[in-house]
Amino acid sequence: MNMKKSENKKDTNIKQILRAIVETYIDTRLPVSSRYIVEKYKLDVCSSTVRNYMFFLHQNGFITRPHSSSGTIPTSKAYRYYIDCLMEKEYLNNQEKQEINLYFNKTKYGYRTIEDIIKISISALSRVVCQMSFASVHKLHYVKVKKIELLCVSPKNILIILVTNTGHVQTSIINTSVDFSEPVLHHISQIITEELSEVPVQSLEDYLLNKILQGEDTIFFILRSAFNLLKEGCMRDINPQFFWEGASFLTDQPEFNSISSLILKKFENQEMSPALLKLIYPADTLIYVGEDVDAMPFSQCSFIASRYRAKKGISGFVGVVGPKRIPYRKIVATISYIAEQLSDRIDKGGFIE
């Protein structure tokens, strides 16, 4: 199917029709007919042409019919294409932001713990978007560098091994412009270990960048990109706290009549946390639809999540899980705003950790 760079009139019309089908189905939850598309969206084509284009979309796996005589509904492939190529970015208006802020501000005596504000965040998210929400918390300020080793794996390729005080081991290979000998690498390893000993993992990037700006040692420039990967690896593998809210929104969805209990069991047993971490990191905002998540029962769902980062070394993600027909634009905007608020309020508050 030619729906990439070629922008002839036919392609444009097909994209308009696909967008109309997806957005109409999201709004109405009803199969979409060609007549409805023509009347609702005032397309500059006749009904028979719309039917031909819809047949084309059906043949290429973008839409399907629940029954032979019914209208069409989007497939996972259609949602994926819509998200990647057709969806316009949406922003919350001031009233919507104020509604969310009311949840954060309603606690009379403030938040006693980080967990308190996380729970308020997902409660607000769940109620505003009417979907099940979830969040994780990583406290990387407890994790510090214990030892770093540099090994030559091939000319101009260095293996970096980082060991933390928690026993975590993370490795990465970087390419350099210089061919270092093993004795030189061993000496550099000792120097760097001494420099970075007891530096929290979440502070490594800023620490190394300051060294670079001060011009103390060019080796720090070589290591900076690798430490980004090391930091992300530590965040992914260190066990986070996990929270979820709004199970009733999930069980009320007709698509989940037979699998809602399986999904909730995964949440209750913390079985889905590692899978979500693997999917989300290191991106800031990700949307997964259906078969993007290759594990039942999540292949029947959509996941939208955004990362939050506080300067105190506390980070994680906040998101929702729902059916594939969720209102993506509004939910992405809402999650992004809540993630921003979460980062800001964690930085401002004095908490009991």
Domain, as residue range, for 248: 94-140+239-348
Q: Tokens representing 47?
A: 């009904």
What's residue 234's pLDDT? 58
Domain of 19, CATH number, reads: 1.10.10.10
For the chain, state the CA radius of gyration. 25
Report the Cα 42 to chain-centroid distance in Å.
Answer: 35
pLDDT at site 275: 56
86-126 confidence digits (pLDDT tens): 999 999 999 999 999 988 887 655 566 788 888 999 999 99
Residues 116 and 58 both lie in one domain: no
Q: Residues 163-175: what's their mean pLDDT? A: 77
Percent with pLDDT over 70 in the chain: 75
Whether 274 and 318 map to the same domain: the answer is: yes
- Choosing from 52, 70, 86, the residue where a domain stops is 86
Name the H helices within the chain. 9-28, 34-41, 47-59, 76-81, 94-105, 114-129, 182-196, 204-214, 219-237, 247-251, 260-268, 273-280, 328-348
Residue 2 has pLDDT above 60, yes or no: no
Least confidently predicted of 133-137, 173-177, 246-250, 349-353: 349-353
Question: What's the CA gap between 123 and 117, in Å, rounded?
Answer: 10
pLDDT at 162 over 90: no
pLDDT digits (tens, 9 = 90+) for 184-207: 888 888 877 887 776 666 666 566
pLDDT of residue 301: 85
Average pLDDT, the chain: 79
Residues 304 and 162 in one domain: no
For residues 166 and 82, which has the higher predicted lDDT (pLDDT)? 82
d(CA 207, CA 214): 11
Alpha carbons 232 and 63: distance in angstroms, whole number: 38
Structure tokens at 116: 């308190």
What is the spatial distance between Cα 328 and Cα 330, in angstroms, rounded to a whole number?
6
Confidence class for position 266, pLDDT limits 50, 70, 90:
confident
**CATH number of the domain that residue 135 is part of:** 3.30.450.40
Q: Are 169 and 163 in contact (CB under 8 A)?
A: yes
Structure tokens at 61: 């796996």
What's this model's pTM, rounded to 2 decimal places? Answer: 0.72
- In DSSP terms, 317 is beta-bridged to 307
Same domain (yes/no): 35, 120: no
At 197 the three-state DSSP class reads: coil
CATH number at residue 185: 3.30.390
Neighbours of 351 (CB within 10 A): 15
